[in-house]
């Protein structure tokens, strides 16, 4: 029977970020008397071959919104310089309510930052996170494709069975980290319950070509059908400006919008969004997925942590899902490295509860805002419409409220691992 200290199930963006944070800590620990941790990452899907050639923008690639706080975390992990050429900055955010007076305008210059956030293609983000892990000196064992088929608790931690190269093998880990996505079979197998709140909406996503430069503007538009976002992307291979659409629509309308031809779809889109970003000349492949709020009732138990989408799935209205998950991965890495230095059990409840307690306010605030905003801006009752527009107008006119909203959107209102102060303080120091 093989043994390891930490088994990470799921080698996607969250699992890879956790492994990278642990690897960086391990490299620092090599200068001390600490014995290196044995860390194994399991990923069920085969990873694409890595290449030294830069990735070109792919028209229909899926993208992720990164907060400014996430950029600082990637800088601490040593990967931002590799990711920056693929990241499109967001310098302006425009929030509006269709047919009503409420609106908010955020600008990077007024917030004294270089960008309010970034949008990056997932394949570029995954590649940048995976490259350092696949180096021989990373200290991480990456087993792919390897599907974890079972796990059960033991006195030492968890016994994990996985299928690799056509045979089932076993490994015992002091700590099992589950980050294999929102439909985690391993979470269900361990009877870790979750609560779900369906929003009765689908997210319709597609990439678009614009007839003029997007000028690094991200739009959040609330309509009678649901919220929609238009995020700036890198230009396509022909130098034409692109944007990523995330359109929340009622369930019964999703199939219709997927089925109609491109011209009819663009007419519907312009009817809801208008022409503030110019005329949309092309739409790429359209996809949809149902929207819900999912939270596990139990994020930690002895020897087990649930992380990322396996722990919480948010509405995309605020674009905070990955940013929240990354902060969780970084806090977990910090606590595990501290436990190693202090000789505490990695899977002990003292260590895991310290991790969970640090995330409590961040999760409560971020998930709560996303849920309340979804409910408020997906409702056409006249009193709620009036209330939300008065709120938007008040935020636009009141500078302290606007700056607080901007800080939250940028992920600068929470203390990040090992920074010792809020990320806003770090930004101020950098600009001084």
Q: pLDDT grade, residue 50 (50/70/90)? A: low
Segments making up each domain of the chain, as ranges: 2-196+292-431
Give 167-193 pLDDT, tens digit per residue: 999 999 999 999 999 889 899 999 999
Least confident of 89-103, 237-251, 298-312: 89-103
The encoded tokens of residue 250 equal 């009622």
Burial group, residue 244, by CB count within 10 angstroms (0-12, 13-18, 19+): buried
Residue 245 near residue 230 (C-beta atoms within 8 A) = yes
- pLDDT on residue 56: 59
Comparing CA positions, the residue from 130, 132, 164, 124 lying closest to residue 147 is 164
Residue 233 pLDDT > 90: yes
CA Rg value for the chain: 22
The terminus-to-terminus CA distance of the chain in angstroms comes to 55
Residue 331 has pLDDT above 50, yes or no: yes
Averaged pLDDT score across all residues of the chain: 88
User: Tell me: the pLDDT tens digits for 256-289?
Assistant: 999 999 999 999 999 999 999 999 999 999 999 9
pLDDT of res. 51? 61
Length of the chain: 432
Predicted confidence (pLDDT) per residue in 64-111, tens digit: 999 999 999 999 999 999 999 999 999 999 988 887 788 889 999 999
Diameter of the chain measured on Cα atoms: 66
- pTM equals 0.90
Share of the chain above pLDDT 90, in %: 62
Architecture of domain 2-196+292-431: 3-Layer(bba) Sandwich (3.50)
CA 305 to chain centroid, in Å, comes to 18
Bigger pLDDT: 294 or 25? 294
pLDDT digits (tens, 9 = 90+) for 126-140: 999 988 888 888 889
DSSP string for residues in 67-118: EHHHHHHHHHHT-HHHHGGGEEEE-EEEEEETTSS-EEEEETGGGTSS-SEE
- Cα→Cα distances 317→13, 116, 216, Å: 20, 16, 19
Helix, strand, coil abundance in the chain, percent, nearest 5: 40, 30, 30
């Amino acid at each position: 029977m093989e043994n390891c200290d930490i088994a990470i199930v799921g080698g996607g963006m969250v699992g890879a970020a956790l492994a990278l944070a642990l690897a960086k800590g391990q490299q620092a620990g090599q200068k001390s008397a600490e014995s290196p941790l044995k860390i194994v990452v399991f990923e069920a899907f085969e990873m694409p071959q890595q290449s030294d050639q830069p990735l070109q923008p792919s028209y229909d690639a899926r993208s992720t919104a990164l907060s400014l706080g996430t950029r600082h975390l990637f800088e601490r992990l040593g990967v931002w310089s590799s990711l920056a050429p693929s990241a499109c900055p967001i310098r302006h955010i425009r929030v509006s309510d269709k047919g009503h007076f409420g609106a908010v305008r955020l600008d990077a210059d007024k917030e004294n930052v270089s960008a309010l956030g970034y949008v990056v293609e997932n394949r570029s983000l995954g590649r940048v996170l995976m490259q350092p892990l696949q180096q021989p000196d990373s200290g991480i064992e990456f087993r792919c494709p390897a599907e974890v088929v079972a796990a059960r608790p033991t006195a030492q931690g968890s016994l994990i069975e996985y299928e690799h190269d056509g045979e089932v093998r076993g490994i015992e880990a002091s700590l099992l980290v589950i980050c294999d996505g929102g439909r985690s079979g391993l979470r269900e197998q361990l009877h870790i319950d979750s609560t779900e709140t369906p929003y009765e909406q689908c997210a319709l996503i597609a990439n678009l070509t614009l007839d003029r430069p997007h000028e690094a503007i991200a739009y959040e538009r609330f309509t009678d059908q649901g919220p929609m976002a238009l995020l700036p992307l890198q230009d396509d291979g022909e130098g034409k400006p692109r944007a990523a659409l995330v359109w929340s629509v009622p369930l019964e309308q999703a199939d219709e919008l997927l089925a109609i031809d491109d011209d009819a779809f663009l007419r519907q889109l312009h009817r809801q969004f208008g022409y503030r970003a110019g005329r949309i000349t092309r739409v790429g492949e359209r996809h949809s997925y149902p929207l819900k709020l999912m939270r596990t009732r139990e994020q930690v138990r002895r020897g087990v942590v649930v992380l990322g989408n396996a722990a919480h799935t948010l509405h995309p209205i605020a674009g905070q899902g990955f940013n929240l998950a990354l902060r969780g991965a970084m806090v977990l890495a910090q606590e595990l490295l501290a436990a190693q230095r202090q000789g505490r059990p990695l899977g002990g409840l003292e260590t895991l509860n310290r991790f969970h307690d640090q995330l409590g306010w961040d999760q409560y605030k971020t998930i709560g805002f996303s849920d309340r905003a979804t409910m408020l801006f997906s409702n056409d009752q006249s009193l709620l419409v009036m209330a939300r527009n008065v709120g938007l107008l008040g935020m636009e006119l009141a500078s302290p409220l606007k700056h607080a909203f901007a800080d939250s959107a940028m992920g600068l209102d929470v203390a990040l691992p090992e920074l010792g102060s809020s990320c806003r303080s770090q930004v101020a120091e950098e600009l001084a």
